[in-house]
Amino acid sequence: MLTLLIAGGFLIFPCLASPADVPLIHPGPFGPDHITLNDGRVVDLPPPTVALYRMLTQTGRLHGRHTMRPTDAEGQAGIELRHRHEPYWTSRFGDRSRTPESAYLSPIEHGWLSVRPGYKPGHRAEDIFAPPGQRVFAPATMLILHAGYLSKTAGETVVGFVPAPPGQSRARYFTFVHIDVSPVRARVGEVIEAGTLLGHVARGDEAVVGNGLGRLPHVHFAIAEERPDGQLEGIRVWDLLRRAMSPRTNVSRDRRPIS
Ligand SMILES: [Zn+2]
C-alpha cells in the first residue's frame, strides 16, 4: 500500500503494485452511508459501495425514487473516479478472452421477457421474469466488482465489468438487480467465466429485492456503456436477450415491464 500515490484526494493506481495490494474499489471522495428500509431496518453502505453507485449512475438516487438527486459535482466526481478505476479493472481482467456478444448466454434459466421491450427513459434495462429461486448466470466472462446490497431501489445486485475490446473505447457494465447474490459474493474481485452462477431470483424481502418488493419476481438486467458526456447508460438488450434465451424463451403476451 506504500506504493499508492494520492493526488488531489484521489487514488492513482500504481503500475508496480500487484492486484492483491490495491483495493478493487477506492472510495474517492465518497464516504459511508446507510439506507433505512420500509420496516425500519438499517443497511450500512461502506464507502466503496457508495463510490461504486456514484460511478455507475450520475443521476440515480441512492435512497430511493423520491429522495435527493446527486449534485452535478457529485456526478462528475463519480465519472472521474470511474475513469481512474477502469485501467486497473482492465488489468485485473488481464488477457482473458471477451465473450462475443453473439455468444452471450441466457442470464436466467426458465425466465421470460415482456412481449415488448421495456427500454425507456428511466428504465434503460429489461426485466426478466422468473419464479423465486431460479438461478441467475453470467452471460459473459466478467470481473465481479460488486455482489451485495447496492441501493434502496436495487436491493442486492451483482455488477460485472468487461473491458473494451481491443481497438474500441467502451467497456461494458453488467448489472443484475433484485437477486440473492450469495453464490458469487465470495468471488468479488475475480474474473468469472460465462455461465458462472451469480445468484437466485429473490423472494420478497426488501433488503434483497429493493423496489421489486410486492411485484412479479424478476431480475432487472442492464448492460451499460459510456455516453459521450461520460455518463453510463444502459444499451438496448431486448433483442440480445431474446437471442440468448432462445429457444427456451417464453415471451409472455400478458405481462408488461414493471420497474
Ligand atoms: Zn427493471
- Whether 116 and 222 map to the same domain: the answer is yes
Task: State the residue range of the domain holding 64.
Answer: 25-93
Q: Are residues 201 and 165 in the same domain?
A: yes
Q: How many domains does the chain have?
A: 2
Least reliable range by pLDDT among 8-22, 202-216, 231-245: 8-22
Whether the pLDDT of residue 247 is over 90: the answer is no
Asked if the structure places residue 201 within a domain, the reply is yes
What three-state secondary structure class fits 257?
coil
Neighbours of ion ligand 1 (CB under 5 A): 127, 220, 259
Listed residues 58, 93, 128: the one ending a domain: 93
Residue 19: band (very low, low, confident or very high) from pLDDT cuts 50, 70, 90: low
CA–centroid distance, residue 57 to ligand 1 (Å): 15
Ligand 1 mean position to 70 CA, how many Å? 21
Going by pLDDT thresholds of 50, 70 and 90, the confidence category of residue 20 is: low
pTM given for the model: 0.89
Q: Of 93, 112, 132, which marks where a domain is finished?
A: 93
pLDDT tens-digit series, residues 26-68: 999 999 999 999 999 999 999 999 999 999 999 999 999 899 9
Determine the Cα–Cα distance for residues 163 and 177; give it in Å rounded to an integer. 21
- The model's confidence at residue 138, banded by pLDDT at 50, 70 and 90, is very high
Write down the mean pLDDT value for the chain.
Answer: 89
Instruction: Tell me, in angstroms, the distance from the centre of ligand 1 to residue 90's CA.
Output: 28
Tens of pLDDT, residue by residue over 72-89, are 999 999 999 999 999 999
Q: Which amino acid is at 90?
A: T
CA of 123 to the centre of ligand 1 (A): 6
Shared-domain flag, residues 164 and 226: yes
Residue 108 Cα distances to 127, 128, 210, 215, 241, angstroms: 11, 8, 19, 18, 10
Cα 180 to ligand 1 centroid, rounded to whole Å: 16
Q: Is residue 220 part of a domain?
A: yes
| Torsion sign, CA atoms 144, 196, 208, 201 | positive
Tell me, in angstroms, the distance from the centre of ligand 1 to residue 154's CA. Answer: 9
Q: What spacing in Å lies between the alpha carbon of 126 and ligand 1's midpoint?
A: 6
